[in-house]
Structure 1
């Protein structure tokens, strides 16, 4: 199977091309740049260098969320448009699971984190790539407090991802600094890891594919401050606007 994998859900951008379980190429940019200016360039470069045609692809794998609203919409749009135009399969993979899968941490509880600012985070708990605590948007201090109720083996917990702003909170919750992954490569999303997970999943309908934000956009939250939730429930904020 030939797969193109895209992840623009965080500050880092990652694109990979995989054929028959062999990575043909991967581009990861950990730069403060607008992903819209680099995503298509990265895709074109990988396909050109591989001597493949876009029509040779079997499946497109997209980091479906959570993460940056703009980044998620970008990858979803590129993935859906490409899948529709080329008549290819599309699958979505949790952005947090993709980060967690970077670690070779057999049987340990891996906590992937994405910084959502102001003490908030997107976080989850995985063990051997199986969901222990589902992806969620949370106040991270509350997530840590709740984690102690769900995971009793504290020494088997590993934090990875965008943990920089949460180190003190993690230590205050009873974990050791050695349990926080700091290697700059290991904490970045990997489109290759995304592709390996996506290869095992069932494809979904192209038109029904959508990002999983896990949190309302700021504009919707402000709109709901002056409108009843029930008034918006029938059709949804985005559709209504």
Structure 2
């Protein structure tokens, strides 16, 4: 099965092509640039370099969020458009699960991928490997970083923290957890799009038309609008 994976959920732009158990190619950048004008050229370049054409594809897999509101929306929209146009299945995978899978294969403990959500908050969840398979220990959610590490301290388990936003929160993590916390290496921070492809390979396809990103929370602009208009239509 030939799969195209797309991840634009944060600064990292990741595109991958796999064929069954083989990684054919990956494209990864971690720079603050507009994904909307870079995704399709990146896909086209990777496919050309890998001697593939769109009709070769059997499935599209996309990082569905959480993450940057705009970034998640761009990736999901492009993935839905490609899947519908090519008439092939589409699957969505948690953006946090991709980060966990990119660093935690050989970690004997729980994995906490994280994205900064501003104001001391993080998007995170808990994952672990069981017989080579990534499973969810605690669902993705949004909360204050200090509350998260306090809850993890009670578990008294080694925790691997991973994600490009770790430097924003590593002081809070280290102060609360000490040696209980393991910080992933710099080369392990970027979400690997090939991991995304493998995570989505066996997932059930979604309904393309009803599939929406998992923002976890409303976009800030929408939240402010709802707050400002609270009670006006009651």
Unaligned runs of 5+ in 1: 233-241
TM-align CA RMSD:
1.8
* Paired position in structure 1 for 2:137: 132
* Paired position in structure 2 for 1:166: 169
1:142 aligns with 2:143: no
Using the alignment, how far apart are the partners of 1:10 and 1:4 within structure 2? Answer: 18
Q: Give runs of aligned pairs for residues 21-100 of structure 1, distance below 5 A.
A: 21-100=21-100
Using the alignment, how far apart are the partners of 1:87 and 1:66 within structure 2? Answer: 26
- TM norm structure 1: 0.89
* Paired position in structure 2 for 1:179: 182
* Paired position in structure 2 for 1:118: 119
Whether the aligned pair in 1 keeps the contact of 2:89 and 2:205 (CA below 8 Å) is: yes
Q: Which moved more, 1:42-51 or 1:64-73?
A: 42-51
Whether the aligned pair in 2 keeps the contact of 1:167 and 1:177 (CA below 8 Å) is: no
The secondary structure found in structure 2 opposite 1:41 is: helix
Shift of 1:177: 8.6
Whether the aligned pair in 1 keeps the contact of 2:60 and 2:91 (CA below 8 Å) is: yes
* CA shift in 2, pair 1:231/1:148, >3 Å: farther
Query: How many residues end up aligned between the 2 structures?
Result: 228
- TM norm structure 2: 0.92
Using the alignment, how far apart are the partners of 2:231 and 2:20 within structure 1? Answer: 48
Which consecutive aligned stretches of 4+ in structure 1 deviate over 4 angstroms post-superposition? 229-232
Unaligned runs of 5+ in 2: none
Q: Which moved more, 1:219-228 or 1:185-194?
A: 219-228
* Paired position in structure 1 for 2:109: 108
Using the alignment, how far apart are the partners of 1:18 and 1:62 within structure 2? Answer: 13
